[in-house]
Amino acid sequence: MKRGKRYVEAAKAIDRTTLYDTADAIALVKKAAVAKFDETIEAHLRTGCDGRHADQQIRGAVVLPHGTGKTVRILVFAKGPKADEAQAAGADYVGAEELIPKIQNEGWLDFDVVVATPDMMGVVGRLGRVLGPKGLMPNPKAGTVTM
């Protein structure tokens, strides 16, 4: 298989028989980077776990140090002092019944997360057909129905 000039040049710096330490491997990859964009590193780990057994499955989540770069727009259904509290906490859109027709009739979906207070869930329930399929419906298990 024919390789490109950049690949061949970068491959000379790496000894395939050596097992590198994590910090050394990352430094080597950064030194060999030649693309005009941020390159990606893939890590493959052999844990010795059998994924067919439920008690041996490994799942997790990672919080990136600088996030994904996307700002999250939050819509809060609340009224009274809770609406003021949500506004002070940094919610992008805060309202009650006046937002229902805007979402239902006009198809306004300019938000990423919907949070509602328990007393507003009766009103927000009418939006189930619109918000549900998009995964935006407030849910106590997800922590989006809260005071």
Domain count, the chain: 2
Per-residue confidence (pLDDT) for residue 40, from 0 to 100: 84
Rounded to whole angstroms, the Cα distance separating 34 from 121 reads 53
Per-residue confidence (pLDDT) for residue 126, from 0 to 100: 81
Give ∠ CA 72-77-80 in degrees, rounded to 5. Answer: 125
Which parts of the chain have pLDDT scores under 70?
A: none
- 76-100 tens-digit pLDDT: 888 888 888 888 888 888 877 788 8
Same structural domain for residues 37 and 82?
A: no
Query: How many CA atoms are closer than 13 Å to the CA of 88, on its beta-carbon side?
Result: 6
Per-residue confidence (pLDDT) for residue 115, from 0 to 100: 85
Per-residue confidence (pLDDT) for residue 142, from 0 to 100: 78
Domain end residue (candidates: 39, 56, 73): 56
Q: Which tokens belong to 115? A: 């949070």
Q: Which tokens belong to 81? A: 């002092």
Same structural domain for residues 40 and 10?
A: yes
Rounded to whole angstroms, the Cα distance separating 58 from 68 reads 23
Provide CB contacts within 8 A for 79, sequence distance 6+.
Answer: 96, 117, 119, 120
The domain that holds 85 is classified in CATH as 3.40.50.790
Same structural domain for residues 49 and 105?
A: no
Rounded to whole angstroms, the Cα distance separating 115 from 137 reads 8
pTM of the shown model: 0.55
Per-residue confidence (pLDDT) for residue 124, from 0 to 100: 79
What residue numbers bound the domain in which 118 lies?
61-147
Per-residue confidence (pLDDT) for residue 103, from 0 to 100: 81
Same structural domain for residues 47 and 67?
A: no
Residue 113 φ/ψ, nearest 5 degrees: -135, 140
